Structure 1
Amino acid sequence: MVHPASGFRGTRAGVTAGSGSSLQSGEDHGAPLPRIKVSYWCAKGHETQPVFLKLPEDQIPVVWDCRRCGAPATRDGHAEAAADALDDGYKSHLEYVKERRSGQDAEDVLAGALEKLRARGILSDELLRDT
């Protein structure tokens, strides 16, 4: 439940406290700030294009995380800079699972799951041979 004296009621993104303008007044809030799309490439060749406010060149980040693989991506597309940063300890979920389980553990878990399905009558050997 929202407290009746909450300062956030009736506000929207972009409205600041003390702006002196009302949302219902119909006043022009000005033109939107100019934005630019910047391309970054990771060592695997994935392109990421975040949108920034139009800032001076030195204020735009040099490295950005790839949205597909999480690896660092650079603006100039040189894989060397991104490859150097890959040693920061980033691991996928599958890599963590492989650290905890061996191949034999995986086979044991699969065999147990198949046995439970067979016991419940959901899975038969004919289905396994057809696939």
Structure 2
Amino acid sequence: MDIDHIIVANAKAAADAFITMSLNLAKPAGVTLDIATVEQAAEKLNSGKLDHKKVMVVLGNTAETLALVEKIPEISAINYGGLPQKEGARQFGKAIYLTDEEIAHSRALKEKGIRLEMRQVPAHSAELLNDQL
């Protein structure tokens, strides 16, 4: 992946100094990293300052994903890289388990015309979640 800038848009990560430090240590060399709330991420993405960059946005859950899409309607595709198994969740892909609430968020994203892909790593081919909702 040829990424210039990563934005982690997650309230928990933005408020936790240990998570912030860990993510900064783990980021690839030469890549800029911002850790922000969804609101802060939307402001940065809508500011135009990153228009010339290749940006990857990482979100922690479907609720924050839906919130970001509502602030940035130009988003046309989302990749579900992994949502771990939890009580009451149904499996949709190799590493995608969704609760009823996450399914509702995903359906709302689908209704906005967003392509929902399931892919853990870039080398894998994407499965389409839209067809399973």
TM-score range, shorter-chain basis? Answer: under 0.3
TM normalised by structure 1 equals 0.20
For CA contacts below 8 A with separation 6 or more, give which structure has more relative contact order. Answer: 2
TM normalised by structure 2 equals 0.20
